[in-house]
Amino acid sequence: MLNDPRTYFNPSEFNPERFLANDGKGPEVEPRTICFGFGRRICPGLHLADASVWLSAAMSLAVFNVSKVVENGVEITPEFDSTSGTISHPEPFKCSIKPRSANAVTLIQQDAHY
């Protein structure tokens, strides 16, 4: 249902702006209303999954700077390619992930030994 071109214009393209109203058109349907099911068959772990992903992303971004990789003084913009199949994910790409500070390194090391 999330790949239906009648629901999403060009569904295989990464385009977060599709969920914002613009050019007199309303936003496209939020995928969260479909991906966890609906009615009597809704996923009972919906709220746990949503909170877990949000917390994981927030904690990672709190201690790491994520940026484009620089090779030979040139900043490289990664190209987005995704796998096909039932579960799609981005193909591997280069990026730079560095701790934000010495305090961040301490937090990361504490969590690694938890």
Distance spanning both ends of the chain, measured CA to CA: 40
Q: Enumerate the domain spans of the chain.
A: 1-35, 45-112
> How far is residue 102's CA from residue 112's CA, in Å, rounded to a whole number?
15
Per residue in 83-97, pLDDT (tens digit) is: 877 777 888 889 999
Per residue in 4-27, pLDDT (tens digit) is: 888 888 888 888 888 888 877 888
Phi, psi of 65 (to 5 degrees): -95, 125
**In the block, which residue shows the tokens 């914002």?**
20
- In terms of pTM, does the model score above 0.75? no
